[in-house]
Structure 1
Amino acid sequence: MTTQRCIIVRHGQTEWSKSGQYTGLTDLPLTEFGVRQMQRTGRSIFRDNAFIDPSKVTYIFTSPRIRAKQTIDLVLESLTPEQKAHIRVVVDEDLREWEYGDYEGLLTHEIVALRKSRGLDKTVPWNIWRDGCENGETTQQIGLRLSRVIARIQNLHQKSMDAGKASDIMVFAHGHALRYFAGLWFRKLAVEQKCNADWERANPNSYKDDTVPYVQLDTYRYLNDNPFFLLDAGGIGVLSYAHHSIDEPALALAGAFVPPPEEESQHGEVGK
């Protein structure tokens, strides 16, 4: 039985990722280094080391920002037109970076100083995962939209599992958003919230692709503390499932490396 994977890719280096400035809605391109970085990554994962079989990549979900879409083009550059043809690219507004509001373009120490000048954080230090951003998004807001993306991806994975087909789904997005995404994937790291308010139940129509069913959530998850995941610009992580079960989301510690089939079975059956 084939194990489905969700392969998360942070965009390559930009001027602000290099400097450490918080980059949400600001639409920056990659640096020259970032371009070369992602070209090398694409050659490595698809051609030189063959960590990912392009024939198994069914969808790419991406943030609408230039830096994410540019990264996709560079990573796929080593594939043939025939290999690219069957991969559907879905631009999803729900995958945008955390909206930083007043903190856009600032460094962490500048944010801390700004909040102090406004009389905040008198008892505990600022924690974006708990406190969110002034005039930007709360942790509940980003948690809801990333929960919607995860529901869509896991629904597609379930359909491919039921059909006995392989499905690697790649997700191209941003540093905070992807670490948050991974935290929600594991469920136990997050708080579960019922969708009671109108804004929680609304369908934002964040993407346009008839082959991706919209999943209406009754509950969603959000973080209230740092998940302590690292993902540098250009970094790749692999999320999957234990025992071939959508109900057992897991981290693939081997990353993009795929072991030989005869070594792949220890998590394939319940009870093993």
Structure 2
Amino acid sequence: MGSTPTPRCIIVRHGQTEWSKSGQYTGLTDLALTPFGEGQMRRTGKSIFQNKFIDPDHITYVFTSPRTRARQTIGFVLETLTEQQRSKIRVVVDEDLREWEYGDYEGLLTHEIIELRKSRGLDKTRPWNIWRDGCENGETTQQIGLRLSRVIARIQNLHRKHQAEGIASDIMLFAHGHSLRYLAALWFKLGVEKKCETDWEKSELKTYNDDTVPYIALDKYRHLIDNPNFLLDAGGIGVLSYSHHNIDEPALALAGAFVPPAEEESQHGDVPNV
């Protein structure tokens, strides 16, 4: 196997904002972190790097939502790294990582959304499920599923390249509560697969500006039809990786950032897919 660890995709939800604290749906609204959120992410960065849960020298890319709260979080999390360490990390702002566009539900609480939909004569036969029903005048589950499928394709392509080159590769994603839980579910193929058939599905949108990240055109994608039942609080971190060091076997790393050294990993490249 060698000493190169299995590539990882480390997802980080931005720190606390006034609306994450209150529970209001925050999509395109560009809020800053609260003072608590700033300190929260400073403490997180200090912990994960000083305790070597994440080796800063293994971070190849940081992908981020364009929203202020996500970009601020990067600065606080990476604050304890040396200037030299930070200079080696490419930061890519990617529109595909933005939060679910909530449309009419922006700024509302869940019970307010339910009441609004009831007043409009919706959900008479079954309760609202954002993962299936999407948002009025916002994004459908197919729309967010497509753009997050594009993100996954880019990340996994980079991981495949880095693994072939023998480069340790932790790629960090800084984004939001719904988008990161959705992405995690798609990572290991929950939901349903759909062919790209319509013009909007086939359109090749360049949602980032970095020539070192190849654009991967999709002929199919995945989207959810139910709640994946994942939690990711403001400031939370999750880890996605691969079984048997195989990029074609994406998996959830249940141990999160708490991983053994590469030479002690229990997975082996020649183990069958079990």
| TM-score, normalised relative to structure 2 | 0.97
CA RMSD of aligned residues (A): 1.0
Give the residue type in structure 1 aligned to 2:47: S
Give the residue type in structure 1 aligned to 2:46: R
Which residue of 2 is the match for residue 199 of structure 1?
200
Cα distance, 1:265 vs. partner? 2.8
SS in 1 for 2:179: helix
Q: Structure 2: how far apart are the matches of 1:21 and 1:260?
A: 40
Which residue of 2 is the match for residue 80 of structure 1?
82
Q: Structure 2: how far apart are the matches of 1:90 and 1:261?
A: 27
Which residue of 1 is the match for residue 72 of structure 2?
70
Following superposition of structure 1 onto structure 2, how do residues 31-180 of structure 1 map, counting pairs within 5 Å? 31-47=34-50, 49-180=51-182
SS in 1 for 2:39: helix
Cα distance, 1:257 vs. partner? 1.2
Cα distance, 1:160 vs. partner? 0.7
Which residue of 2 is the match for residue 4 of structure 1?
7
Q: Structure 1: how far apart are the matches of 2:69 and 2:58?
A: 25
Which residue of 1 is the match for residue 248 of structure 2?
247
Pick closer, same or farther for the CA change 1:159–1:108 going to 2, 3 Å.
Answer: same
Verify: 1:209 aligned to 2:210, yes or no: yes
Q: Deviations over 1:20-47 (max 9, x none)?
A: 0000000000000000000000000011
SS in 2 for 1:77: coil
Which residue of 1 is the match for residue 234 of structure 2?
233
Q: Structure 2: how far apart are the matches of 1:166 and 1:37?
A: 28
Q: Is the 8 A contact 2:141 2:224 kept in 1?
A: yes
Q: Deviations over 1:41-97 (max 9, x none)?
A: 0000011x1100000000000000000000000000000000111100000000000
Q: Structure 2: how far apart are the matches of 1:235 and 1:173?
A: 11
Q: Is the 8 A contact 2:60 2:89 kept in 1?
A: yes
SS in 2 for 1:220: strand
Unaligned runs of 5+ in 2: none
SS in 2 for 1:16: helix
SS in 1 for 2:147: helix
Give the residue type in structure 2 aligned to 1:37: Q
Q: Structure 1: how far apart are the matches of 2:258 and 2:52?
A: 8
SS in 2 for 1:114: helix
Q: Is the 8 A contact 2:28 2:99 kept in 1?
A: yes
Q: Structure 2: how far apart are the matches of 1:58 and 1:40?
A: 22
Cα distance, 1:201 vs. partner? 1.1
Cα distance, 1:263 vs. partner? 2.9
Q: Is the 8 A contact 2:246 2:269 kept in 1?
A: no
Cα distance, 1:262 vs. partner? 4.4
Which residue of 2 is the match for residue 22 of structure 1?
25
Unaligned runs of 5+ in 1: none
Q: Structure 2: how far apart are the matches of 1:261 and 1:212?
A: 26
